[in-house]
């Protein structure tokens, strides 16, 4: 179902998941895999990592085939919860966003 649409989808025909990750790649991997295993509705996944250490970033890079968008680092400091969500929402293309 993920990225295999047989026709263009309107913005109200799928859902956007915005996932924030900061130094917890195992939880992020589990969540992405769970969405793929259990979501029965078309979706996109946006993962935003907020300036984690290099080991975490390298682990998250392995998700690139399972997510629509992967945002890594992007600044010299931790942006915080609200700014990170805003970056993720700015990239969401659905009318419906789940955090």
The answer to whether the beta carbons of residues 72 and 57 sit under 8 Å apart is yes
Q: What is the pLDDT of residues 66-89, one digit of tens each?
A: 999 998 875 577 778 888 899 899
Give the 3-state secondary structure of 23-54: CCHHHHHHHHHHHHHHCCCCEEEEEEECCCCH
Residue 61 has pLDDT above 80, yes or no: yes
Mean pLDDT value across the chain: 86
Q: What percent of the chain has pLDDT over 90?
A: 49
Q: What is the pLDDT of residues 5-45, one digit of tens each?
A: 566 667 778 899 999 988 889 999 999 999 999 998 899 99
Tell me the whole-structure pTM to 2 decimals.
0.83
Residue 53's SS3 state is coil
In the prediction, which pLDDT does 6 show?
Answer: 61
């Amino acid at each position: 179902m993920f990225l295999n649409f047989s026709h263009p989808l309107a913005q109200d025909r799928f859902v956007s998941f915005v996932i924030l990750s900061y130094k917890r790649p195992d939880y992020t991997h589990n969540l992405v895999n769970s969405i793929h295993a259990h979501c029965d509705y078309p979706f996109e996944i946006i993962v935003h990592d907020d300036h984690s250490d290099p080991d975490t970033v390298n682990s998250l890079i392995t998700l690139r085939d399972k997510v629509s968008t992967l945002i890594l680092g992007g600044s010299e400091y931790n942006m915080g919860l609200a700014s990170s969500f805003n970056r993720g929402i700015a990239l969401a293309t659905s009318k419906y966003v789940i955090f």
